[in-house]
Structure 1
Amino acid sequence: MSLFHHLKLTVTLFGLCLASVAIADLQRFEHPTKADGSLSVMVIGDWGRRGTHNQSEVALQMGKTAEKLDTDFIISTGDNFYEDGLTDVHDAAFDESFTNIYTAPSLQKQWYAVLGNHDYRSNALAQLSPVLTKRDSRWLCMRSFILNAEIVEFFFVDTTPFRDKYFQEDHTYDWRGVLPRKDYLSNLLKDVDSALRESTATWKIVVGHHTMRSAGIHGDTIELVAKLLPILQANNVDLYINGHDHCLEHISSPDSPLQFLTSGGGSKAWRGKVKGWNPKEMKFYYDGQGFMTLQITQNEVGVQFYDIVGNVLHKWSVTKSVYASI
C-alpha cells in the first residue's frame, strides 16, 4: 500500500476524515481502494436487536465472510436500533446492539450508516452525533452524504422523510432538521441530482433505507418511485441498495440498467408475505436473514447474498468499459 493510501485509510478508520466543500452541498467523505484498485464492501440492514432474532448469528457469519473477502468497509441500510432508535448518545443499546455484537476482527472497519424509519422514532440526532464515534470509532451515520471510493461513488439518501404515512401515524418521530418537510425534500432531491450529474465515477450506487422496488411486505415505496427513481435513471445509476423489507432481494429494472438490491436481513425476518413479480425482473428473493457483499473493480461489480450459515444464495455481476464512464 502506498503512503498516500495508508494515510487516507488511517484517517478513515479513526473517523477523522474531514468533509471538504462537497458537490451539491452533500457532505463528502473519502475511502481508498486496495492497492490493486479493487474494493470489497459488506451491506447489512435492519439489525439492532441486542443480539436477538439471530442478529448475533448473522454477525458471526459476517465476520467469517469479511475475513475471506478482506472487506474494506460496511454499509448499514438503516433501522439500526429497534424498536425506537436511541434515546440519547449515552443509550446502552448502542453497545448492546452494535459494539458488543460485531466483534470479529474483520468487522473492525468503518461503518457508513443511514437512518431508517425506526431510527427516527426516538432521538434521531443521537445517531448522527460525533459522541457515538468517540464511543466506537467505526460508527459514521448521517442523513445524506457522498462516499467517494475512487472507482465508485456511493450516494446515501435520507428516505424516511419521503413517506407520507409517517407524518400521519400515532408514533412520535424526531423531525428536527427535516421541517419544513417540503423544503427539505426539494433541496435534497436537487442536491442528489446535482451530485449524480457531476460525478465522474465509473460506478454510481445509491443507498437508502426504504425499498424502491420490492416483492416483500412493504412493497414499492411510491413516493420514492415518483420522486427519486427518475433522478437515478436520468443519471445512469447502477445500483439502488436498501433495507426496510426484512429479506434479501434482487430485482432488475425493465427499462434501464438500474438494479434494485435489498439487504434487510440483519435480524428479525421470515415474514412470510411475498408479492408476485415478473420473473424476468425478479432475479432473487429470500424471505430470511443474511447480508450482501459487493466486489468492485474498475470494470466489474459482483454481488453476492449470504444466509445465516454463510451459504451463497445468489450471485450476479455486471461489467462496464472504463471508457463508457468518461
Structure 2
Amino acid sequence: MVLTMAVVQERTLALCLNLMLVFFIVSSIATTLADLQRFDHPAKDDGSLSFLVVGDWGRRGFYNQSIVAREMGKVGEKLDIDFVVSTGDNFYEDGLKGIGDPAFEESFTKIYTAKSLQKPWYSVLGNHDYRGDTEAQLSPHLRNFDSRWICRRSFIVNTEIAELFFVDTTPFVDDYYTDKDHSYDWRGVTPRSDYLHNLLKDLEIALKDSNGKWKFVVGHHAIRSAGHHGDTIELKKYLLPILRANNVDMYMNGHDHCLEHFSSLDSPIQFLTSGAGSKAWRGDIKNASQNEMKFFYDGQGFMSLQLTNSAELAQIVFYDVSGNVLHNWSFSKLPFSSF
C-alpha cells in the first residue's frame, strides 16, 4: 500500500501528539505523587532512643539561635541523642536562594557545632522555606556541604521501636495561595489537589502498615496551638482524622514560636510544639482548655524525647534558652495513660 505524503504527515502528527500526551501524563504523576522515602535509623543496642526537636531557627545565629544551639549541644551530650528533628522554617526570611546560598552554612553548619549535634538532622519544610528555592533546600547536594542535612517534603524514619512520619504541611494552608505579599515556590506540589490527595493516601497506608511500637508524626504547622497562629484548620480537617484512626501517639510541629504541650481529650495523641529555635516572645496567647493545654511557654527553647529500653515509656522535656527544664512529661504506651 502506497501512502500519500499527506497521510504520512497526518499519522506522524498523530503519533507526536500521543507521545506528548503520554509525556504530560507521566510528568503530572511524577510531580503529584507524595515522596514517602524511608530512612532506617536503628535505635541503640539496648533498644532505647533519644532525639531533640527544634524549629523556626535559621537566623544566622541571631535572636538567641546560637545560645539555643549551645544548650542543645549540652542536652544532646547528656542524653546521647541519636538524631535531631527540625520542624521547619529552617532558613529565614525566605528560604534558600540556591544550593550555594551562604545562609545554609551561616544558619546551620556554623551554628550547631557541638559534638553531640553531629548526627542526622531530619527536616521538613516550613512556609518560610517555601518562599525560597525549595528544590535547593531539598537537594541531596547540600550533603556535600554538611552530611547531617536530610530534608524531604514527606518521608519516614524507621527506628525499629518507633516510626516518625514527616509530613509536608505548607501546601495544605489555603492562605498561602492568596498571599499577595509573598511568593511561594510550588514546584513539585502541583496540581495541589492531586498532591494533597496522594500525600494523605500514602501517609494513611504507611501508618496502617507500620510495625513500630510508637508512631510519631512531624509537620511544620500546628494542629493544636494557643500561640500566635493557633490551630491550622486545614490540618484539623484533613490530617487529624487519619492520625486518630491509626493510633498516632504524638504530633510534633513548629510554626508558632513557642513551646507547647496539648493532650487530646478524645484520643491518646499528644500535640507538641517546638518552634522556638530563635525569634520568639510574641506576647500573645489564645484561650485554651486547661484540660487540654498542659504547658505553654512564649520564649526560645527546644524539646527532647526519650524512649526507654523497654520502649513502653516515653519522656518529653522542654528546655528554655538557658537549658533549664520547663516541663517534664512521661507516659506509658500500654495502657494509654499519663502521670
Q: TM-score, normalised by structure 2?
A: 0.87
Q: What are the superposed Cα offsets for residues 99-158 of structure 1, whole Å, 9 maximum, x if unpaired?
A: 000000111011000000000001011111011011100000000000000100000000
Alignment of 1:72-221 (within 5 A): 72-170=82-180, 171-221=182-232
Residue 334 (structure 2) pairs with residue 318 (structure 1): no
Contact persistence 2:35–2:153 (CA under 8 A): no
User: Partners in 2 of 1:148 and 1:301 — Cα distance?
Assistant: 17
Question: 1:281: which partner in 2?
Answer: 292
Question: 2:267: which partner in 1?
Answer: 256
Amino acid at match of 2:76: A
Q: What are the superposed Cα offsets for residues 13-40 of structure 1, whole Å, 9 maximum, x if unpaired?
A: xxxxxxxxxxx96210000111110001
Which of 307, 316, 339 is residue 303 of structure 1 equivalent to?
Answer: 316
Q: What are the superposed Cα offsets for residues 63-101 of structure 1, whole Å, 9 maximum, x if unpaired?
A: 011011101100000000000000000000000000000
Name stretches of at least 5 consecutive residues in structure 1 with no aligned partner.
Answer: 1-23
Which of 28, 45, 49 is residue 35 of structure 1 equivalent to?
Answer: 45
CA RMSD of aligned residues (A): 1.0
SS at match of 2:287: coil
User: Partners in 1 of 2:75 and 2:315 — Cα distance?
Assistant: 15
User: Partners in 2 of 1:155 and 1:224 — Cα distance?
Assistant: 15
User: Partners in 1 of 2:230 and 2:279 — Cα distance?
Assistant: 17
Deviation at 1:315, TM superposition (A): 0.7
Deviation at 1:321, TM superposition (A): 3.4
SS at match of 1:125: helix
User: Partners in 2 of 1:194 and 1:285 — Cα distance?
Assistant: 33
Contact persistence 2:73–2:117 (CA under 8 A): yes
User: Partners in 1 of 2:313 and 2:207 — Cα distance?
Assistant: 20
Residue 240 (structure 2) pairs with residue 223 (structure 1): no
Contact persistence 2:35–2:154 (CA under 8 A): no
Amino acid at match of 2:325: V
SS at match of 1:283: strand
Amino acid at match of 1:316: W
Amino acid at match of 1:201: G
Question: 1:62: which partner in 2?
Answer: 72
Deviation at 1:300, TM superposition (A): 1.1
Amino acid at match of 1:311: N
SS at match of 2:196: helix
Q: What are the superposed Cα offsets for residues 263-309 of structure 1, whole Å, 9 maximum, x if unpaired?
A: 00000000001011111111000000000000013111110000011
Q: Runs of at least 4 residues of structure 1 off by over 6 A?
A: none
Amino acid at match of 1:263: S
User: CA 1:146/1:48 → structure 2, altered by over 3 Å: closer, same or farther?
Assistant: same
Question: 1:269: which partner in 2?
Answer: 280
Name stretches of at least 5 consecutive residues in structure 2 with no aligned partner.
Answer: 1-33
Q: Name which one, 1 or 2, has greater alpha-carbon Rg.
A: 2
User: Partners in 2 of 1:286 and 1:312 — Cα distance?
Assistant: 12
User: Partners in 1 of 2:325 and 2:236 — Cα distance?
Assistant: 30
Amino acid at match of 2:147: S
User: Partners in 2 of 1:145 and 1:296 — Cα distance?
Assistant: 21
Question: 2:11: which partner in 1?
Answer: none
Query: % of aligned pairs identical?
Result: 68
User: Partners in 1 of 2:175 and 2:224 — Cα distance?
Assistant: 18
Question: 2:248: which partner in 1?
Answer: 237
